[in-house]
């Protein structure tokens, strides 16, 4: 009383025939050259539109780390003031240029300048973090502050011109 398995109703194909049906011709182009160029142009246009929306601060185009009213508040708070940390990257570049020359006085000046700016930037970052944290907790009592300190410092040390999304407030503005 054992059941026999149902038959498939056709003979097993030869290996050569089975492989031939599976194989896709690697010599044939997947699409025409014009179609590929159109696809590249459309992709490029979509990337440009996405980048412009990010720079504008369009909420739907922002990266997850930049989304939400809390992050907008932090960005506006940081962007509404000028700080020493903003000049850390250009100063590092100047120190790099000064270190090329073999003049000990220039090298010493550059090193002192960079370390001074670094110390001021770190102190300024702590002060800014505490100020924003107090205001953040008042405005968003149910939100978590986790990760905001690094977001503040990374925004504060980048040059105003290269911040993404672009600053929406001017230095000195109240928001």
Per-residue pLDDT of 132-170, as tens digits, reads 999 999 999 999 999 999 999 999 999 999 999 999 999
In our burial notation (b when 16+ CB lie closer than 10 A, e otherwise), range 42-69 reads eeeeeeeeeeeebeebeeebbeeebeee
Residues 145 and 80 in one domain: yes
Give me the sign of the Cα torsion angle 152, 157, 158, 160: positive
Q: Which two tokens stand for residue 50?
A: 């996405």
In this model, does residue 28 exceed pLDDT 70?
no
Instruction: State the total domains in the chain.
Output: 2
Domain residues for 53? 32-61
Residues 38 and 85 in one domain: no
Q: Is residue 26 part of a domain?
A: no
Q: Which two tokens stand for residue 54?
A: 């990010």
| pLDDT higher at 20 or 151 | 151
Residues 156 and 106 in one domain: yes
């Amino acid at each position: 009383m054992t059941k026999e398995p149902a038959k498939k109703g056709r003979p097993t194909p030869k290996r050569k025939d089975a492989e031939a049906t599976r194989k896709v011709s690697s010599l044939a182009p997947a699409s025409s050259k014009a179609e590929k160029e159109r696809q590249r142009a459309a992709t490029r246009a979509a990337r440009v539109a996405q980048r412009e929306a990010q720079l504008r601060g369009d909420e739907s185009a922002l990266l997850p780390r930049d989304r939400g009213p809390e992050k907008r508040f932090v960005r506006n708070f940081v962007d509404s003031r000028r700080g020493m940390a903003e000049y850390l990257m250009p100063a590092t570049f100047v120190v790099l240029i000064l270190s090329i020359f073999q003049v000990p006085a220039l090298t010493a000046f550059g090193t002192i300048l960079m370390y001074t700016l670094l110390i001021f930037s770190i102190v300024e970052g702590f002060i800014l973090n505490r100020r924003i944290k107090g205001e953040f907790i008042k405005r968003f009592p149910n939100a978590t502050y986790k990760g905001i300190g690094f977001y503040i410092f990374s925004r504060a040390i980048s040059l105003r011109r290269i911040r993404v999304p672009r600053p929406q407030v001017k230095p000195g503005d109240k928001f």
